[in-house]
Amino acid sequence: EAGVAQSPRYKIIEKRQSVAFWCNPISGHATLYWYQQILGQGPKLLIQFQNNGVVDDSQLPKDRFSAERLKGVDSTLKIQPAKLEDSAVYLCASSFNLGTEGKLFFGSGTQLSVL
Amino acid sequence: SQKIEQNSEALNIQEGKTATLTCNYTNYSPAYLQWYRQDPGRGPVFLLLIRENEKEKRKERLKVTFDTTLKQSLFHITASQPADSATYLCVLGPSGSARQLTFGSGTQLTVLP
Protein backbone atom coordinates (compact mmCIF):
# COMPACT_ATOMS: atom_id res chain seq x y z
CA GLU A 1 0.00 0.00 0.00
CA ALA A 2 1.40 3.37 -1.01
CA GLY A 3 1.84 5.87 1.79
CA VAL A 4 1.06 9.56 1.97
CA ALA A 5 2.99 11.40 -0.75
CA GLN A 6 4.22 14.96 -0.30
CA SER A 7 6.23 17.32 -2.46
CA PRO A 8 8.54 19.07 -2.53
CA ARG A 9 10.77 17.65 0.23
CA TYR A 10 12.61 20.91 0.72
CA LYS A 11 11.90 24.51 -0.15
CA ILE A 12 13.91 27.65 0.49
CA ILE A 13 12.30 31.02 -0.14
CA GLU A 14 12.73 34.61 0.90
CA LYS A 15 10.26 36.33 3.15
CA ARG A 16 7.23 37.80 1.41
CA GLN A 17 7.46 35.20 -1.35
CA SER A 18 4.75 32.60 -1.86
CA VAL A 19 5.06 28.82 -1.67
CA ALA A 20 2.80 25.83 -2.21
CA PHE A 21 2.93 22.27 -0.93
CA TRP A 22 1.19 19.25 -2.38
CA CYS A 23 -0.16 16.12 -0.71
CA ASN A 24 -1.68 12.90 -1.99
CA PRO A 25 -3.20 10.81 0.82
CA ILE A 26 -3.53 7.07 1.06
CA SER A 27 -6.15 5.80 -1.36
CA GLY A 28 -9.56 5.58 0.28
CA HIS A 29 -8.71 7.88 3.18
CA ALA A 30 -11.47 10.44 3.50
CA THR A 31 -9.82 12.63 6.12
CA LEU A 32 -6.75 14.74 5.35
CA TYR A 33 -4.77 16.95 7.70
CA TRP A 34 -2.06 19.56 7.36
CA TYR A 35 0.25 20.01 10.34
CA GLN A 36 3.05 22.47 11.03
CA GLN A 37 6.01 21.17 13.04
CA ILE A 38 8.53 23.68 14.31
CA LEU A 39 11.92 22.27 15.33
CA GLY A 40 11.77 20.73 18.79
CA GLN A 41 7.98 20.85 18.99
CA GLY A 42 5.15 18.47 18.28
CA PRO A 43 3.00 18.85 15.16
CA LYS A 44 0.31 21.53 15.32
CA LEU A 45 -2.86 21.10 13.29
CA LEU A 46 -3.46 23.74 10.64
CA ILE A 47 -6.47 22.35 8.82
CA GLN A 48 -8.53 19.17 8.59
CA PHE A 49 -10.61 18.07 5.59
CA GLN A 50 -13.30 15.43 5.42
CA ASN A 51 -13.54 14.58 1.71
CA ASN A 52 -13.47 18.06 0.13
CA GLY A 53 -15.04 19.92 3.05
CA VAL A 54 -13.21 21.74 5.87
CA VAL A 55 -13.81 20.22 9.32
CA ASP A 56 -11.46 22.42 11.34
CA ASP A 57 -9.32 25.37 10.29
CA SER A 58 -9.35 27.22 13.61
CA GLN A 59 -5.55 27.34 13.85
CA LEU A 60 -4.89 28.26 10.23
CA PRO A 61 -3.52 31.83 9.86
CA LYS A 62 -6.04 32.71 7.20
CA ASP A 63 -4.47 36.05 6.33
CA ARG A 64 -1.56 34.21 4.73
CA PHE A 65 -2.32 30.49 4.62
CA SER A 66 -4.85 28.75 2.40
CA ALA A 67 -5.60 25.15 1.61
CA GLU A 68 -7.87 23.27 -0.70
CA ARG A 69 -8.80 19.70 -1.41
CA LEU A 70 -10.60 19.72 -4.70
CA LYS A 71 -12.30 16.43 -5.66
CA GLY A 72 -11.69 15.13 -2.15
CA VAL A 73 -8.36 13.47 -2.94
CA ASP A 74 -5.11 15.41 -3.10
CA SER A 75 -4.58 18.74 -1.42
CA THR A 76 -2.45 21.86 -1.64
CA LEU A 77 -1.38 24.21 1.13
CA LYS A 78 -0.24 27.70 0.20
CA ILE A 79 1.52 30.44 2.10
CA GLN A 80 1.42 33.97 0.71
CA PRO A 81 3.32 35.99 1.77
CA ALA A 82 5.74 33.92 3.84
CA LYS A 83 7.24 35.18 7.09
CA LEU A 84 10.42 34.11 8.85
CA GLU A 85 8.38 32.34 11.53
CA ASP A 86 6.83 30.07 8.91
CA SER A 87 10.10 28.11 8.75
CA ALA A 88 9.03 24.63 9.77
CA VAL A 89 8.21 21.17 8.46
CA TYR A 90 4.76 20.92 6.92
CA LEU A 91 3.31 17.47 7.38
CA CYS A 92 0.34 16.01 5.59
CA ALA A 93 -1.53 13.12 7.17
CA SER A 94 -4.57 11.08 6.33
CA SER A 95 -6.92 8.73 8.13
CA PHE A 96 -9.61 6.37 6.94
CA ASN A 97 -12.48 8.38 8.35
CA LEU A 98 -13.58 10.61 11.19
CA GLY A 99 -14.08 8.84 14.48
CA THR A 100 -11.49 6.14 13.87
CA GLU A 101 -9.74 7.16 17.06
CA GLY A 102 -7.51 9.43 15.06
CA LYS A 103 -4.89 6.95 13.86
CA LEU A 104 -2.95 9.07 11.39
CA PHE A 105 -0.66 8.13 8.53
CA PHE A 106 1.90 10.85 7.83
CA GLY A 107 3.93 11.80 4.81
CA SER A 108 7.62 12.67 5.14
CA GLY A 109 6.86 16.37 5.12
CA THR A 110 8.14 19.47 3.34
CA GLN A 111 10.90 21.34 5.12
CA LEU A 112 10.43 25.06 4.52
CA SER A 113 13.15 27.60 5.20
CA VAL A 114 12.18 31.26 4.95
CA LEU A 115 15.19 33.58 4.70
CA SER B 1 -5.31 25.79 30.15
CA GLN B 2 -4.68 22.35 28.73
CA LYS B 3 -1.09 21.17 28.82
CA ILE B 4 0.84 18.06 27.82
CA GLU B 5 4.41 17.36 28.93
CA GLN B 6 6.88 14.67 28.00
CA ASN B 7 10.31 13.94 29.46
CA SER B 8 12.00 17.31 29.24
CA GLU B 9 15.44 15.85 28.68
CA ALA B 10 16.60 13.55 25.94
CA LEU B 11 16.91 10.01 27.24
CA ASN B 12 20.03 7.91 26.74
CA ILE B 13 20.05 4.25 27.72
CA GLN B 14 22.24 1.24 27.19
CA GLU B 15 21.28 -1.43 24.68
CA GLY B 16 19.29 -4.23 26.28
CA LYS B 17 17.83 -2.07 29.03
CA THR B 18 14.21 -0.94 29.33
CA ALA B 19 13.47 2.60 28.23
CA THR B 20 10.63 4.37 30.04
CA LEU B 21 9.16 7.55 28.62
CA THR B 22 6.70 9.70 30.54
CA CYS B 23 3.75 11.74 29.34
CA ASN B 24 1.88 13.95 31.81
CA TYR B 25 -1.11 16.09 31.06
CA THR B 26 -3.31 18.59 32.86
CA ASN B 27 -6.82 19.87 32.24
CA TYR B 28 -7.60 17.04 29.83
CA SER B 29 -9.84 14.01 30.05
CA PRO B 30 -9.03 12.24 26.78
CA ALA B 31 -10.94 9.14 25.78
CA TYR B 32 -7.71 7.71 24.41
CA LEU B 33 -4.01 8.34 24.11
CA GLN B 34 -1.60 7.41 21.33
CA TRP B 35 2.14 7.05 20.93
CA TYR B 36 3.99 7.76 17.69
CA ARG B 37 7.61 7.34 16.65
CA GLN B 38 9.36 9.98 14.56
CA ASP B 39 12.73 9.54 12.87
CA PRO B 40 14.75 12.54 11.61
CA GLY B 41 13.40 13.85 8.33
CA ARG B 42 10.34 11.62 8.48
CA GLY B 43 6.73 11.96 9.56
CA PRO B 44 5.47 10.36 12.76
CA VAL B 45 4.51 6.68 12.64
CA PHE B 46 1.66 5.34 14.79
CA LEU B 47 2.68 2.76 17.39
CA LEU B 48 -0.03 2.17 19.96
CA LEU B 49 -3.39 3.44 21.16
CA ILE B 50 -4.74 2.99 24.68
CA ARG B 51 -8.25 3.87 25.78
CA GLU B 52 -9.26 5.46 29.08
CA ASN B 53 -10.78 2.20 30.35
CA GLU B 54 -7.58 0.25 29.60
CA LYS B 55 -4.76 0.22 32.12
CA GLU B 56 -2.12 -1.35 29.92
CA LYS B 57 -1.52 -2.26 26.28
CA ARG B 58 1.31 -4.33 24.82
CA LYS B 59 2.72 -4.82 21.34
CA GLU B 60 5.85 -6.91 20.94
CA ARG B 61 8.55 -5.10 23.00
CA LEU B 62 6.34 -2.06 23.64
CA LYS B 63 4.11 -1.48 26.64
CA VAL B 64 1.93 1.53 27.37
CA THR B 65 0.11 2.33 30.59
CA PHE B 66 -2.60 4.95 31.07
CA ASP B 67 -3.46 6.26 34.55
CA THR B 68 -6.39 8.66 34.28
CA THR B 69 -6.16 9.49 38.00
CA LEU B 70 -2.52 10.54 37.80
CA LYS B 71 -3.12 11.94 34.30
CA GLN B 72 -0.07 10.10 33.10
CA SER B 73 0.98 7.60 30.46
CA LEU B 74 4.18 5.59 30.55
CA PHE B 75 5.73 4.12 27.41
CA HIS B 76 8.18 1.26 27.83
CA ILE B 77 10.52 -0.35 25.33
CA THR B 78 12.01 -3.56 26.69
CA ALA B 79 15.28 -5.08 25.47
CA SER B 80 16.03 -1.80 23.71
CA GLN B 81 18.11 -1.74 20.53
CA PRO B 82 20.02 1.06 18.77
CA ALA B 83 17.32 0.88 16.06
CA ASP B 84 14.83 2.10 18.68
CA SER B 85 16.62 5.47 18.74
CA ALA B 86 14.09 8.09 17.65
CA THR B 87 11.76 10.75 19.01
CA TYR B 88 8.59 9.41 20.63
CA LEU B 89 5.47 11.55 20.66
CA CYS B 90 2.62 11.29 23.13
CA VAL B 91 -0.72 12.29 21.60
CA LEU B 92 -3.98 12.94 23.43
CA GLY B 93 -7.34 12.30 21.89
CA PRO B 94 -9.98 15.03 21.74
CA SER B 95 -11.11 16.36 25.12
CA GLY B 96 -13.26 19.32 26.08
CA SER B 97 -12.40 22.37 24.03
CA ALA B 98 -9.55 20.48 22.32
CA ARG B 99 -11.48 18.96 19.45
CA GLN B 100 -8.46 17.50 17.73
CA LEU B 101 -5.47 15.36 18.61
CA THR B 102 -2.93 17.20 20.76
CA PHE B 103 0.71 16.27 20.26
CA GLY B 104 3.39 16.51 22.92
CA SER B 105 6.80 17.84 21.96
CA GLY B 106 8.36 14.40 22.13
CA THR B 107 11.20 12.66 23.93
CA GLN B 108 14.37 11.95 22.00
CA LEU B 109 15.56 8.46 22.88
CA THR B 110 19.08 7.28 22.12
CA VAL B 111 19.98 3.63 22.68
CA LEU B 112 23.72 3.23 23.01
CA PRO B 113 25.40 0.05 21.74
pLDDT per position as a tens digit, A53-100: 999 999 999 999 999 998 889 999 999 999 999 999 999 999 987 666
The pLDDT assigned to A113 comes to 98
Average of per-residue pLDDT values in chain B: 93
* Percent with pLDDT over 90 in chain B: 77
Cβ atoms of B49 and B32 within 8 Å: the answer is yes
Choose from A6, A38, A104 for mutation: most chain B CBs within 10 A: A104
Q: Is the link from the previous residue into B113 a cis peptide, with omega within 30 of 0?
A: no
Q: Choose the closest CB to A40 out of B91, B93, B105.
A: B105
Q: What is the DSSP string of B52-113?
A: TT-SEEEETTEEEEEETTTTEEEEEESS--GGG-EEEEEEEPPBTTB-S-EE---EEEEEE-
- What single letter denotes the amino acid at residue A72? G
Q: What is the pLDDT of residues B33-59, one digit of tens each?
A: 999 999 999 999 999 999 999 989 999
Between A20 and B30, the more confident residue is A20
What is the rounded distance in angstroms from the CA atom of residue A87 to the CA atom of residue A46?
14
The pLDDT assigned to B97 comes to 72
Q: What is the pLDDT of residues A19-60, one digit of tens each?
A: 999 999 999 999 999 999 999 999 999 999 998 899 999 999
Q: What is the mean pLDDT of residues B97-101?
A: 79
Q: What is the pLDDT of residues B73-88, one digit of tens each?
A: 999 999 999 999 999 9
The pLDDT assigned to B98 comes to 73
Cβ atoms of A4 and A94 within 8 Å: the answer is yes
Q: Count other Cβ atoms within 10 Å, centred on residue A72.
A: 14
Q: Choose the closest CB to A56 out of B45, B49, B99.
A: B99
Using the Cβ of A41 and the Cβ atoms of chain B, whether some distance falls under 8 Å is answered with yes
Q: Choose the closest CB to B104 out of A42, A101, A102.
A: A42
Closest by CA position to A91, among listed B101, B113, B77, B97: B101
B-chain residue closest to A109, CA distance = B43
Q: For residue A93, which residues of chain B lie inside 8 Å, CB to CB?
A: 43
The pLDDT assigned to B94 comes to 84
Closest by CA position to B72, among listed B2, B6, B1: B6
Cβ atoms of B32 and B101 within 8 Å: the answer is no
Using the Cβ of A43 and the Cβ atoms of chain B, whether some distance falls under 8 Å is answered with yes
What is the rounded distance in angstroms from the CA atom of residue A48 to the CA atom of residue B3?
22
Chain A, residues 5-24, CB within 8 A of chain B, namely: none
